[in-house]
Amino acid sequence: METIVVKKETPIGWIYLNRPDRLNAINQQMIKELRQGIDEMLYDSDIKVIIITGNGKAFSAGADISQFKELNGYTAWQFAKSGRELMDYIENINKPTIAMINGYALGGGLELAMACDIRIAAEETQLGLPEINLGIYPGFGGTQRLVRLIGKGKALELMLTGDRISAKEAEKIGLVNKVVPLSNLEQETRNFALKLAEKPPISIALIKLLVNQGIDLPILAGLNMESLGWGVVFSTEDEKEGVSAFLEKRKAQFKGK
Ligand SMILES: CC(C)(COP(=O)(O)OP(=O)(O)OC[C@H]1O[C@@H](n2cnc3c(N)ncnc32)[C@H](O)[C@@H]1OP(=O)(O)O)[C@@H](O)C(=O)NCCC(=O)NCCSC(=O)CCO
């Protein structure tokens, strides 16, 4: 693959956006290769958590603007659709994902980070959806995901102004989960991933499904899904192990069964 690098550090799967001279701008090829990289991690049962990050001085500065001049109405629609479908796919996979954000997370770069379950950013990071300054608007799911993450008022402010905000401000409004010094970014993200890797995978998959699908359902439908899901978790070996470990005062060892 030319635009990303994948590295397995069991139980963590690392995916590096790898166009550093273009600040990891997302082109059609990267969209295709990201899907392949995600699938490689998804179908490897030894990989429990996926971390997406950027090589060089940015997570990603967004969609590749140099391709925009070639787009017409139809191909622009197709490009946005393929980027947005990638983000939907990442959001809904049944393994946890972490965006490890360094430098810039702008436009499609922030939309990719928002499709991940957890965002950990270095202090120097700047985040934003500056598409409006190009005479367009966020097209990889940003208009929908940002509202759901931080609420309508602040989401509109960020999208209408196109302003960049600091990592600290992003943490304050709930856009990132954690801000750390750049020198600690990799280790803190790894530690977070290892913590998630110890949790029962079936519970993780169900929590993701309930949250991601439930948010768009009438609350009673979501609550019913939650109750029904107990029928699934209570039929797993991990539930037996978790409850036994508590009663026997030992640490549970989950197997994803
Ligand atoms: C991120 C910025 C603020 C960084 O500025 P700076 O440090 O000065 O670095 P640059 O010289 O601008 O960038 C280095 C190099 O990368 C190219 N580049 C940066 N971003 C992109 C991009 N999105 N697409 C294509 N290429 C990009 C830049 O042209 C430079 O190339 P050279 O050949 O060396 O000149 C600044 O780069 C910036 O503001 N970038 C654009 C951010 C943006 O508008 N993102 C939204 C894109 S639209 C989108 O994402 C749609 C999906 O919703």
pLDDT band at 48 (very low <50, low <70, confident <90, very high): very high
pLDDT band at 106 (very low <50, low <70, confident <90, very high): very high
Using a cut of 0.90, tell me whether the model's pTM lies above it.
yes
pLDDT in tens, 170-212: 999 999 999 999 999 999 999 999 999 999 999 999 999 999 9
- The residue segments making up the domain with residue 238 are 200-248
Where does ligand 1 bind, in terms of residues with CB under 6 Å?
22-23, 25, 61-66, 104, 106-108, 111, 130-131, 134, 138-140, 142
Of the candidates 162, 177, 197, which is a domain's last residue? 197
- What average pLDDT does the chain have? 98
pLDDT attached to residue 192: 98
Would you say 170 and 121 are in contact if contact means Cβ atoms under 8 Å apart?
A: yes
Closest CA to 111 of 76, 144, 158: 144
Work out the number of other CB atoms within 10 angstroms of the CB of residue 181: 10
Say how many Å lie between the first and final Cα of the chain, rounded: 33
Answer yes or no: do 214 and 177 share one domain.
no
Nearest CA to ligand 1 atom 33: 22
CA distance 37 to 33: 6
Helices first, then strands: H and E counts in the chain: 10, 9
* Token digits of residue 82: 């393929």
Would you say 126 and 102 are in contact if contact means Cβ atoms under 8 Å apart?
A: no
Per the domain annotation, does 257 fall within a domain? no
CA of 17 to the centre of ligand 1 (A): 15
Whether ipTM exceeds 0.90 = yes
Report the CATH number that the domain containing residue 79 is assigned in CATH: 3.90.226.10
Answer yes or no: do 192 and 204 share one domain.
no
Report the CATH number that the domain containing residue 240 is assigned in CATH: 1.10.12.10
What's the average model confidence in pLDDT over 222-237? 98
What's the average model confidence in pLDDT over 67-78? 97
CA of 98 to the centre of ligand 1 (A): 23
Answer yes or no: do 143 and 38 share one domain.
yes
Answer yes or no: do 48 and 113 share one domain.
yes
Per the domain annotation, does 254 fall within a domain? no
